[in-house]
Chains A and B, each alone.
Chain A
């Protein structure tokens, strides 16, 4: 642990002492999420979403393992195993299926908020570049897992989504089509594709769990960042993770799970597409092929390229779509401002919110039928997305004048001298944190 005042693990109970001498697992846990991990005391609720992502990963793994006890990965039997066996006959099967289906959506909601927190507060900057990149690896694995999982019920969208996504590869000249056929094990999504997607869908979440451990480990070397972006200086800047942040994460998780349960129990199909309740038909394409909502911005970027300029439009679309995620890996080197937090970067802050709006519009553009208006708006927003990260951010980070930073975290928490004369119980921890996070 990097902080000298971190409480060391001192087991009192003889069993815990015996265990600690042989396998220091409790010590590691104590140092990671227990009383032995000092965390900046000024974290706001945007910092809760990492833990929430971990919770949803757990929910997905548990419900997924249990669903796999009933699922049949055959093109004849998959649809019925989900919609007849699991949804009707398996005890609590409907609950497990809806929980897994909506768990995926909520996993993405939480992850997107977590990523945007990172973008705003400069969490990707030194010394946390690897934390950021491991996070992107997790995100990429999540997308692969979700894509393959959606194919498994073998509905119309499952099948045609698989067709379209694997069709990307054929955009690449020469090697594209052989790669596509190799991926599918055939010429179109069929039995071979379905069984291998099932196998990989079961495997990848455990790979994600492993990368999550690396992600947290890499974070715990420098320790968590905070809304001011100012480094931790001494003990007054931090609080032990347990009980302060276990309590904060705990209650907020309860609230978030409440929203998740309301959707799962009362609107379980709201985030899905009706066409996936139609069994897959390789001979009939649905009126609109759309992926699940969490892929809509990327789908919009893909569809935005309609003109063959040197390269075919389809290839542009595929390259742009992959680039839109890949460029995030380079963010620590594109944005070299020494100031981390957007709270102290007024110009950056405005562009950040423009990005948020841009991504939301891209999502809307990707989710519906390609009308001329939608296409045009999608193209403008896709252009802004690339310009934001590749042109605007480097320029802004080079030329903007940031606001003066507080000298330490505890200074910003205590709100200067005035706090000392204030009566007991005044809510000062909201003080300048409010200004730091208000937008």
Chain B
């Protein structure tokens, strides 16, 4: 009597069953892993949707007209919903900034590194203190510019110089210079690589 004719009687200890165990497990493992891969793939949109949406990314650049800003004046503009300080430096402010030895700076940068060639008088920085994010004073007429003649942050006393570099106080870095380019002699496009 061939083993096949017996209707599944007796314990399953034959060799064919050993393979059967492996085959059975393989199919189950395959099915479950497939479902697992599917679940992970299905989760991807849930994470991706949190990334900035197309309309936010479209706000990536802002064009600002600087024709009315006289030397010694500054304006506050907005880029990516953050304040931007655009200052037209006077020759005295430029020379003051150049005179500072780099070794004395917490975040060493020259004024030339922080401005565009040929436009050394235009200092364009984010108006966000690098300590904890307050908006420093000094851009508007009559505002406190601190003892270095640049910007002063009232929250914890950070003081920036005429090149908006940190000189005193808890802020670790100079005011951030965003990407920008002069789209014309009187307009800057902030956010664009120039």
A→B interface (CB under 8 Å): 62, 66, 69-70, 85, 88-93, 95-96, 243, 247, 250-251, 254, 422-424
CA distance A280 to B113 in the complex (A): 55
B40 sits at the interface (CB 8 A): no
Which residues of A are found within 8 Å of B54, using beta-carbon distances?
88-91
Which residues of A are found within 8 Å of B56, using beta-carbon distances?
89
CA distance A95 to B54 in the complex (A): 15
B109 CB to nearest chain A CB (Å): 36
Q: In the complex the two chains form, is A93's CB within 8 Å of B49's CB?
A: yes
Find B49's partner among A88, A92, A243, A247 (CB 8 Å cutoff).
A92
Tell whether A91 pairs with B49 under 8 Å between CB atoms, given A85-B55, A250-B35.
yes
**Total number of residue pairs linking A and B with CB closer than 8 Å:** 44
Which among A62, A70, A90 has the greatest number of chain B C-beta atoms within 10 A?
A: A90
Q: A91-B45, A91-B54, A424-B6 are in contact. List 7 more A-B contacts (CB 8 A).
A: A69-B50, A85-B53, A88-B54, A89-B56, A92-B48, A96-B49, A423-B7
Which residues of A are found within 8 Å of B51, using beta-carbon distances?
91
Tell whether A93 pairs with B7 under 8 Å between CB atoms, given A66-B46, A243-B28, A250-B31.
no
Q: In the complex the two chains form, is A90's CB within 8 Å of B46's CB?
A: no
Which residues of A are found within 8 Å of B35, using beta-carbon distances?
250, 254
**5 cross-chain pairs, A with B, having the tightest CB-CB distances, nearest first:** A92-B45, A89-B54, A89-B53, A89-B55, A90-B53
Contact with A along B39-83 (1 / 0, CB 8 A): 000000110111101111000000000000000000000000000
B99 sits at the interface (CB 8 A): no
B21 sits at the interface (CB 8 A): no
Q: List 10 interface pairs A-B (beta carbons < 8 Å), by A numbering.
A: A70-B53, A90-B49, A90-B53, A90-B54, A91-B54, A92-B49, A95-B45, A96-B45, A251-B31, A422-B7
Which residues of B are found within 8 Å of A247, using beta-carbon distances?
28, 31
Which among B7, B28, B35, B50 has the greatest number of chain A C-beta atoms within 10 A?
A: B7
B8 sits at the interface (CB 8 A): yes
Q: In the complex the two chains form, is A69's CB within 8 Å of B7's CB?
A: no
Find B53's partner among A66, A93, A254, A424 (CB 8 Å cutoff).
A93
A92 to chain B: closest residue by CB: B45
CA distance A251 to B35 in the complex (A): 10
- CB-CB contacts below 8 Å: B5-26 with A: 6-8
B34 to chain A: closest residue by CB: A254
CA distance A247 to B30 in the complex (A): 12
Which residues of B are found within 8 Å of A93, using beta-carbon distances?
49, 53
B interface majority secondary structure: helix
Q: In the complex the two chains form, is B55's CB within 8 Å of A424's CB?
A: no
Q: In the complex the two chains form, is B49's CB within 8 Å of A424's CB?
A: no
Which residues of B are found within 8 Å of A89, using beta-carbon distances?
53-56
Which residues of A are found within 8 Å of B7, using beta-carbon distances?
422-424
Which among B6, B28, B46 has the greatest number of chain A C-beta atoms within 10 A?
A: B46
Which residues of A are found within 8 Å of B45, using beta-carbon distances?
91-92, 95-96
Q: In the complex the two chains form, is B49's CB within 8 Å of A62's CB?
A: no
B14 CB to nearest chain A CB (Å): 13
CA distance A422 to B5 in the complex (A): 11
A99 to chain B: closest residue by CB: B45
Which residues of B are found within 8 Å of A250, using beta-carbon distances?
31, 35
CA distance A92 to B47 in the complex (A): 10
Which residues of A are found within 8 Å of B53, using beta-carbon distances?
70, 85, 89-91, 93
Q: In the complex the two chains form, is A66's CB within 8 Å of B31's CB?
A: no
Q: In the complex the two chains form, is A66's CB within 8 Å of B28's CB?
A: no
Which among B8, B31, B45, B55 has the greatest number of chain A C-beta atoms within 10 A?
A: B45
A52 CB to nearest chain B CB (Å): 15
Which residues of A are found within 8 Å of B55, using beta-carbon distances?
85, 89
A233 CB to nearest chain B CB (Å): 23
B55 CB to nearest chain A CB (Å): 4
Which residues of A are found within 8 Å of B6, using beta-carbon distances?
424
CA distance A247 to B29 in the complex (A): 12
CA distance A254 to B31 in the complex (A): 11
B39 CB to nearest chain A CB (Å): 11
Which among B7, B48, B49, B54 has the greatest number of chain A C-beta atoms within 10 A?
A: B49
Q: In the complex the two chains form, is A424's CB within 8 Å of B8's CB?
A: yes
Which residues of B are found within 8 Å of A96, using beta-carbon distances?
45-46, 49
- CB-CB contacts below 8 Å: B127-181 with A: none
B54 to chain A: closest residue by CB: A89
CA distance A90 to B51 in the complex (A): 8
Which residues of B are found within 8 Å of A95, using beta-carbon distances?
45
A426 to chain B: closest residue by CB: B7
Q: In the complex the two chains form, is B31's CB within 8 Å of A91's CB?
A: no
CA distance A123 to B51 in the complex (A): 47
A359 CB to nearest chain B CB (Å): 33
Which residues of B are found within 8 Å of A88, using beta-carbon distances?
54
CA distance A84 to B142 in the complex (A): 44
B180 CB to nearest chain A CB (Å): 25
B7 to chain A: closest residue by CB: A424
CA distance A70 to B53 in the complex (A): 10
Tell whether A62 pairs with B46 under 8 Å between CB atoms, given A91-B51, A250-B35, A423-B7.
yes
